[in-house]
A and B are shown apart, each in its own frame.
Chain A
Amino acid sequence: MDNLFWIFISALLVNNFILSYFLGLCPFLGVTNNLTTAFRLGLANIFVMLITAICAWLLNTFVLEYAPYLRLISFIIVIASTVQFVEMAIKKISPELFRALGIFLPLITTNCAILGLALFATNKGYGLIEGLVYALGAGGGVTLALVLMAGIREETRILDIPDLVKGTALSLIIAGILSMAFMGFAGMFSTT
């Protein structure tokens, strides 16, 4: 139990996927103009990550033991197609949820954070439960970073900023400062 909690917190804060592994930067820089959108994107991320964790575990246990060199190819294909299926299923079962996640669901598939999650979980040798907890933490971390960033960027819009800094440069510098703030979490678990 202790271990699972540690995996969760570590993925959520200390090794935040966006701010310390630089995964999933494209949506982080691209769609964080608006708080609501950012939050939904985060939710869609958590969701896809959970599916990915299950897929990765299934593949690792049942298939890849016999052909480890196919890991990358099979991961990306299986994850992409599973997400497609799930998308269709959600559309049928719960149109409301489908609308909330919107365009982000298919887009997320090609997000590096998803493949990164599958690869890191494999490298760390996580089982099914650990993988799911890891996915939850990582997804939560991504959501947290997206929402924080969107909040800050909404504020910057009403400020008087020189033209020179506007755009990607500003976002990157803000991200750098956020990342510095997250480094503080590393000290939380120095004893473990």
Chain B
Amino acid sequence: MKEKESSMAQEFVKGLWKENPVFVMVLGMCPALAVSNTAINSLAMGSATLFVLFFSSMLVSLLRKIIPQQVRITTYIVIIATFVTLVDFLLAALVPEIHKELGAFIALIVVNCMILGRAEAFAAKNPLRLALADALGMGFGFTFALLCVGAIREILGNGSLFTIPLFGAGFEPWVVMILPPGGFLTLGFMLLFFNWLEQRRKRQLAALSSTPH
């Protein structure tokens, strides 16, 4: 029992950082960059994706012994599309302004390679508990990454965070950050930063092992 719990926790944590879908695996980029111009939009997009990922992983994992091998991808897509339709209508009913802003990108969650990837690579091969843990981890990891990108773009491009102004009137917003190029640049520089961290860690490890005790 103990072991099971620890592996569930492992599957969950893995998605948050070590295998973060956006920063490490560079999956699901299209929606990640398209709507991450403000923190609120990122949060909405992240939660919608989390919802779809969670329920489609659940269904795929439950049905994994019934779905015939030959038509599995099609089945996954139908399952995913069903939940995306659901979330589309949910958002339209609950938060119409955000739904309007995200527009067709909600529907485009269907083709987010991350969701199909998790269904194929994980949920189809693992029992429900692990699949749910994995989906939650990946979903939160995705939301977290989106929120980082969105927050940076909103702070620099609009001088605010969650629409609360951060700077005085003297702040000149970098308009380019909330426009499309800002998305590419922000993520590019973030990846650069992570590369740098990784390299520094490796150098430190190398220095540590080479120094005589």
Contacts and interface: CB of A to CB of B under 8 A. Distances in A.
B188 A169 contact: yes
B51 interface: no
B189 to A, nearest CB: 7
Interface string A80-97: 100000000000000000
A172 B195 CA distance: 14
A114 B31 CA distance: 14
Interface string A97-140: 00000000000001110111001100100000000000000000
Contacts of B184: 172-173, 175-176, 179
A64 to B, nearest CB: 12
B191 A172 contact: yes
Given A76-B77, A116-B108, A183-B179, A164 B29 contact: no
A119 B104 contact: yes
B109 to A, nearest CB: 9
A183 B176 CA distance: 10
Interface in A9-33: 19-26, 29
Contact of B195 (A26, A77, A119, A169): A169
A46 B30 CA distance: 19
Contacts of A123: 103-104
Contact of A176 (B77, B103, B185): B185
A176 B177 CA distance: 10
B34 A179 contact: no
Interface in B71-85: 74, 77-78, 81-82, 84-85
B187 A183 contact: no
B180 A168 contact: no
B180 A23 contact: no
Contacts of B195: 164-165, 167, 169
Interface string B12-36: 0000000000000010011101100
A62 B110 CA distance: 23
Contacts of A25: 29-30, 33
Contacts of B182: 176
A9 B153 CA distance: 29
Interface string A48-84: 0000000000000000000001111100110010000
B89 A110 contact: no
B196 interface: yes
B68 interface: no
Contact of B30 (A112, A171, A175, A180): A112
B189 A173 contact: yes
A42 B113 CA distance: 20
Contacts of A20: 180
Interface string B142-178: 0000000000000000000000000000000000100
6 contacts: A21-B180, A22-B29, A23-B34, A69-B89, A169-B191, A173-B185
Given A22-B30, A71-B85, A169-B195, 7 more contacts: A20-B180, A26-B29, A69-B85, A71-B107, A110-B113, A164-B192, A164-B199
Interface of B: 26, 29-31, 33-34, 74, 77-78, 81-82, 84-85, 88-89, 103-104, 107-108, 110-113, 116, 176, 179-185, 187-189, 191-192, 195-196, 199
